[in-house]
A = this chain, B = another copy of it.
């Protein structure tokens, strides 16, 4: 579905045009076309391929989707795939995709399986004609920056969630929900890493030494994007490390709790075993057991048992078993 197709000259919007009219404008100097599509049909992609002379392999990648994030050069065209992360209806993050074709005088963005558009990017660009004047490369940067900026809330959410788990990791009895949440966190983290890491590796080639022609005037902007990606990546790395440690620590805590339960069980079992042994003694049927005949034999026996049990209780307490 075509969202819009606009011609810009010297950083200023000229007109909304039809796809078929694109080739008329591409020949003009200081002009570029910015086309935005969503869940593009085969026909639309074929039309664009024909208008802009796009490479077959790039178009196929945009058509099939489910690519890993990447930045590839085809002659003077740069083809980029980025992942879009957004919350699905079940509050579980979901991966969409945007494919971007950037040529000397055109930018085409094809969004798939995502509800969030880039209209805001276009509006902000149009408000800053002195920057938009840089051409297609700047639009490319603006789109990339927008995609990357949308990763931050997800990273923050992961951090907040991990902190919530960390607060209760040493609480007795919370081992099972902790481990489940940590595992879920790890999965969401992996999702985000798949979006960020390959893109970061690729973005490092958009500034510095040899860069694609179309990006050569916006080096400092692409470095800024790369820097953001590095920041996200650093946070994800340390989240990953912390989740790993938290799982390990959680296992330790369960074992420690278990050990304490075992100790306590040992202590109580011991106290009752002693009481049972004592009452057993006085339950024996020997004829000559003088204490059985005493008037206060019974209360004395109870007192003895209570005393011994109390003594054991006191000792176990002191040695920390109870």
CB-based contact A259/B249 at 8 Å:
no
Contact of A297 among B198, B220, B242, B288 (CB under 8 A): B288
Given A68-B231, A223-B72, A262-B262, residue A280 in contact with residue B276 (CB < 8 A): yes
The size class of the interface chain A forms with chain B is 35 or more
CB-based contact A179/B227 at 8 Å:
no
State how many angstroms separate the Cβ of A140 from the closest Cβ of chain B: 16
Please indicate the chain B residues that have their CB under 8 angstroms from the CB of A289 in the complex. 285, 298
State how many angstroms separate the Cβ of A178 from the closest Cβ of chain B: 9
Please indicate the chain B residues that have their CB under 8 angstroms from the CB of A223 in the complex. 72
Contact of A276 among B241, B273, B285 (CB under 8 A): B273
**Is A183 part of the contact surface with B, judged by Cβ < 8 Å?**
yes
B-contacting residues, A252-278, CB 8 Å: 252-259, 261-266, 268-270, 272-277
CB-based contact A285/B279 at 8 Å:
no
B-contacting residues, A142-175, CB 8 Å: 169-170, 173, 175
Please indicate the chain B residues that have their CB under 8 angstroms from the CB of A190 in the complex. 238, 241-242
State how many angstroms separate the Cβ of A56 from the closest Cβ of chain B: 9
Given A273-B269, A273-B273, residue A286 in contact with residue B262 (CB < 8 A): no
Please indicate the chain B residues that have their CB under 8 angstroms from the CB of A224 in the complex. 57
**Is A247 part of the contact surface with B, judged by Cβ < 8 Å?**
yes
Between A and B, 28 residue pairs with Cβ closer than 8 Å are: A57-B221, A68-B227, A70-B227, A74-B220, A170-B183, A175-B252, A179-B252, A183-B249, A190-B242, A247-B252, A254-B255, A258-B259, A259-B261, A264-B266, A265-B266, A266-B268, A268-B270, A270-B272, A276-B280, A280-B280, A281-B302, A282-B284, A285-B285, A286-B291, A287-B292, A287-B297, A288-B294, A288-B295
| Chain B residue nearest to A173 in the complex (CB) | B320
**Is A250 part of the contact surface with B, judged by Cβ < 8 Å?**
yes
CB-based contact B293/A298 at 8 Å:
no
Please indicate the chain B residues that have their CB under 8 angstroms from the CB of A286 in the complex. 282, 291-292, 294, 297-298, 301
Q: How far is the CA of A109 from the CA of B277 in the complex (A)?
A: 78
Please indicate the chain B residues that have their CB under 8 angstroms from the CB of A244 in the complex. 245
| Chain B residue nearest to A242 in the complex (CB) | B190
| For the complex of A and B, 4 pairs with smallest distance between CB atoms | A279-B280, A272-B273, A265-B266, A258-B259
**Is A127 part of the contact surface with B, judged by Cβ < 8 Å?**
no
Contact of A279 among B194, B257, B262, B283 (CB under 8 A): B283
Q: How far is the CA of A180 from the CA of B247 in the complex (A)?
A: 13
CB-based contact A175/B220 at 8 Å:
no
**Is A9 part of the contact surface with B, judged by Cβ < 8 Å?**
no
CB-based contact B254/A259 at 8 Å:
yes
Q: How far is the CA of A269 from the CA of B266 in the complex (A)?
A: 8
Given A221-B57, A286-B292, A295-B288, residue A261 in contact with residue B264 (CB < 8 A): no
